[in-house]
Structure 1
Amino acid sequence: MTVPEIPRTMKAQFLDAYRQPYSFRDAEVPATSSPHDLLVKVDAAGYCHTDATLVAGHFAPNPPSFPHIGCHEFAGTVVKLSEGASPAAKNFPVGTRVGIPSCSFHPCGTCFECTKEAGPDSDAPGYSVYCAHALSIGVDQHGGFAEYALADARQVVKIPDGFSSVDTAPMMCAGMTIYAALKKCDPQPGRTVGIMGCGGGLGHLGLQFATKMGMAVVGVDAADQPVELAESLSTGAWIVDARKETANAVVKELGRREGKKDRGEMGVDCIVILTESQKAFDYGVQLVKNHGTVVVVSYPVNGFNISAMDIVARKISFVGCLLSSNKLATEMLEFAANNGVKAVQRRYPLSDLNRLVEEYHRTPGGKLVVDMSM
């Protein structure tokens, strides 16, 4: 294969300060510095809630250094490997199409997270998405709102044949996160899962994944456009408008459908919380039957209040889900390609990123994607 010519400069969108628009200007193409590094020509880049949180100055754990190139969910084509490329990097020769998530750029490989024994959905020892010493692409390491970006070969995912880069980009955060959350719900036929925020970026993908996994699904949202988006997918999920139906009414209807008599056995087996509202959180917890599971994905600035009675008297379990392992990300993307799971998208050229951001704040629902071919 002919090695593509790589320019010295590129176009990129920079964040120069919190709560400011992006600045579109020239930048140097990044240089590889590790045997694991891949230089990727970006083909598509998704805009995520985390991008909005970072711009607002609320992403305290890993604040960026300015000027900063954001985007932690993107896809592209490998155009260069480092000198003395590692075995991991050699798995992605020039021309390979890859999806790039934020997590674990240059992990240390020696901390307790990196060396602990691998579980069924985790990566082999030596690499961990939870490494406290790693960088996060798009957060404290330059990301995908640029024509070229660096990726760590241990964190990328090969794009299946027939799946486009534009379809892949939203999967590198939204898809990975909701898939990992659903895996914590023991997905199998006969199980019922609820999704709070079912018309958002993660939620509408969750409706598709969960129904394709064979679960019965209750999707809940509380705004016109997200509800309309969720209903338009025709997944077979029961879409509930929380403004019109109480949680108690939903639980009773689930009980009627399943022939249950006691209140404690009525409801969903698991609920995934994607919203930041305490009211929505409480609504979701009310939907869970006794001994059920609440998977918390969102992390509002002020946190959530959890009732001790739900833990003690109803024996409900609460578990968090932030990241997906590389192993699970690969499984997710193959599942999506094989089952037709795709994000509902609106596309913009890189030069129009600020207009994309305005659209994000004006019309929630689905995913907004920078398409480099535009």
Structure 2
Amino acid sequence: MSQNIPKVQKVAVVPKAGGTIEIKNDWPVTQQKDLKPGECLIKMEASGCCHTDLHAALDDWPLKAKTPLIGGHEGVGTIVAIGDHTDNSPVKLGERVGIKWLADSCLNCEDCRKGREQNCDHAKLSGFTVDGTFAEYVVSFVRHVTPIPEGFDSNAAASILCAGVTVYRAIKYSRTEQGDFIVIPGAGGGLGHLAVQYARARGLRVIAIDTGDHKKKLVQSLGAETWIDFKESKDIVADVKKATGGKGAHSAVVTSASSGGYTQALEYLRAGATLMAVGLPGEATLNASIFFTVFRSISIIGSYVGNRQDAREALELAARGVVKVHFETRDLKELKNTYDGMSNGKVAGRIVFDLTK
């Protein structure tokens, strides 16, 4: 099952660990006859850009990516081929689908059965252990691609597939109730600005932490009740407690890739609160007082992307307009400049690469 497929394509590739990004216009396209059962080939329309892609390119995580590596894991496109002998495919030729960080899992182990597909020992990771979405054509897996709601813009949908689903799941399991205070460090970034909106959709009172007037205007326009600029604040912990009437917040979803965001969160949370660990600093550790973590009944939960159901729920909210992705479209050749902006904290909202050019 296939449509017309070219022999070569344009991709952004990191040839070796920590290496520079190269744009190649003659990279081979996998043909339908070479697809394995359960695989599909997707003609890409758009790919978001995530901090994880930067970590993979820099090779600064304890986990190591394959090389040469085509990065990217927030892709939207149309299925143009499906491998022979693929039984009971949940998607069909011509369908518009999304590719997430979790490209595939066994769906049969304990983690998969309990909805933790992302923790499967046999998980394949887009743009990390398998080639990702910074390409015109991508091989993915019919069991894990996500149907995109009809009428939902592909550029907006791309960012929901990682940034959106990641913060959606973290907030979903943050043990908060309507009217609770939730703190979002990194609120003006790609994950953070979506977290503000998913939190508001659940009736939570958002305290946004970030820096810069542009990010301040963005998060306030999205419904953040309190803004704290971490470069201007003399005492972030005191500022959070003041905003919550002195008690502290019920939860924090730390989206920033800074260890300081975690340390501060443990100090401004109230008794019985939950710290949702989302952002991934490469080598940092989380230091918490065991005595006060126990004494104050603080929960610390690592929240790693999301499963297939989380993705559908996050997309559905965005497709209905409850959550809006603020993004800028760029050409794939601007990937290196985009990484530089991310490294310097200069990117507000999300960057999406137009792969139709």
Report the TM-score, using the length of structure 2 for normalisation.
Answer: 0.91
Residue 291 of structure 1: how far off its partner (Å) = 0.8
* Residues 286 and 24 (structure 1), Cα distance of their counterparts in 2 relative to 1, 3 Å cut: same
Match of 1:27 in 2: 27
Q: Deviations over 1:52-84 (max 9, x none)?
A: 1111111332421x2211111111111111112
Query: Which of 270, 273, 276 is the aligned partner of 1:292?
Result: 273
Match of 1:176 in 2: 165
Match of 1:343 in 2: 325
Residue 219 of structure 1: how far off its partner (Å) = 1.2
Write the distance in 1 (CA, Å) between the matches of 2:243 and 2:290. Answer: 26
Query: Which of 167, 178, 188 is the aligned partner of 1:199?
Result: 188
Residue 236 of structure 1: how far off its partner (Å) = 4.5
Match of 1:39 in 2: 41
CA contact (8 A) 2:44 2:356 kept: no
Tell me which amino acid in the other structure corresponds to 2:110: F
Match of 1:60 in 2: 62
**Structure 2, unpaired ranges of 5+:** none
Residue 174 of structure 1: how far off its partner (Å) = 0.6
Tell me which amino acid in the other structure corresponds to 2:134: F
CA contact (8 A) 2:48 2:351 kept: yes
CA contact (8 A) 2:2 2:82 kept: no
Match of 1:367 in 2: 350
Of 235-244 and 69-78, more deviation after overlay is shown by: 235-244
CA contact (8 A) 1:211 1:237 kept: no
Match of 1:274 in 2: 255
Structure 2 residue 56 is matched with structure 1 residue 75: no
Identity %: 29
Write the distance in 2 (CA, Å) between the matches of 1:24 and 1:268. Answer: 45
Match of 2:203 in 1: 214
Residue 299 of structure 1: how far off its partner (Å) = 2.8
Structure 2 residue 103 is matched with structure 1 residue 129: no
Across the aligned residues of Structure 1 and Structure 2, the Cα RMSD in angstroms comes to: 2.1
* Residues 352 and 252 (structure 1), Cα distance of their counterparts in 2 relative to 1, 3 Å cut: closer
Q: Deviations over 1:291-350 (max 9, x none)?
A: 111111123212221122331221111111012010111111001111341221121112
Write the distance in 2 (CA, Å) between the matches of 1:222 and 1:281. Answer: 17
Residue 136 of structure 1: how far off its partner (Å) = 0.8
Match of 1:260 in 2: none
Write the distance in 1 (CA, Å) between the matches of 2:21 and 2:257. Answer: 25
* Residues 339 and 310 (structure 1), Cα distance of their counterparts in 2 relative to 1, 3 Å cut: farther
* Residues 38 and 369 (structure 1), Cα distance of their counterparts in 2 relative to 1, 3 Å cut: same
Write the distance in 2 (CA, Å) between the matches of 1:22 and 1:29. Answer: 19
Write the distance in 2 (CA, Å) between the matches of 1:129 and 1:152. Answer: 14
Tell me which amino acid in the other structure corresponds to 2:94: G
Runs of 4 or more consecutive aligned structure 1 residues displaced over 4 Å after TM superposition: none
* Residues 187 and 196 (structure 1), Cα distance of their counterparts in 2 relative to 1, 3 Å cut: same
| 1:129 aligned counterpart, secondary structure | helix
Write the distance in 2 (CA, Å) between the matches of 1:315 and 1:139. Answer: 36
Tell me which amino acid in the other structure corresponds to 2:278: V
* Residues 148 and 104 (structure 1), Cα distance of their counterparts in 2 relative to 1, 3 Å cut: closer
Tell me which amino acid in the other structure corresponds to 1:82: G
**Number of aligned residues:** 350
Structure 2 residue 242 is matched with structure 1 residue 252: yes
Q: Deviations over 1:84-140 (max 9, x none)?
A: 2221x2x221221111102142x33444323x4x3xxx27xxxx2221122211101
CA contact (8 A) 1:104 1:130 kept: no
Tell me which amino acid in the other structure corresponds to 2:23: F
Write the distance in 1 (CA, Å) between the matches of 2:164 and 2:212. Answer: 22
Of 41-50 and 54-63, more deviation after overlay is shown by: 54-63
CA contact (8 A) 1:187 1:210 kept: no
CA contact (8 A) 1:187 1:214 kept: no
Tell me which amino acid in the other structure corresponds to 1:45: S
* Residues 245 and 157 (structure 1), Cα distance of their counterparts in 2 relative to 1, 3 Å cut: farther
Structure 2 residue 115 is matched with structure 1 residue 113: no
Residue 287 of structure 1: how far off its partner (Å) = 2.3
Write the distance in 2 (CA, Å) between the matches of 1:135 and 1:253. Answer: 42
CA contact (8 A) 2:49 2:351 kept: yes
Match of 2:175 in 1: 186
Tell me which amino acid in the other structure corresponds to 2:166: T
Residue 270 of structure 1: how far off its partner (Å) = 1.0
CA contact (8 A) 1:349 1:373 kept: no
Tell me which amino acid in the other structure corresponds to 1:238: T
Of 142-151 and 304-313, more deviation after overlay is shown by: 304-313
Write the distance in 1 (CA, Å) between the matches of 2:257 and 2:27. Answer: 36
Residue 48 of structure 1: how far off its partner (Å) = 0.7
Tell me which amino acid in the other structure corresponds to 1:75: V
**Structure 1, unpaired ranges of 5+:** 256-262
Report the TM-score, using the length of structure 1 for normalisation.
Answer: 0.87
Match of 2:296 in 1: 314
Tell me which amino acid in the other structure corresponds to 2:182: V
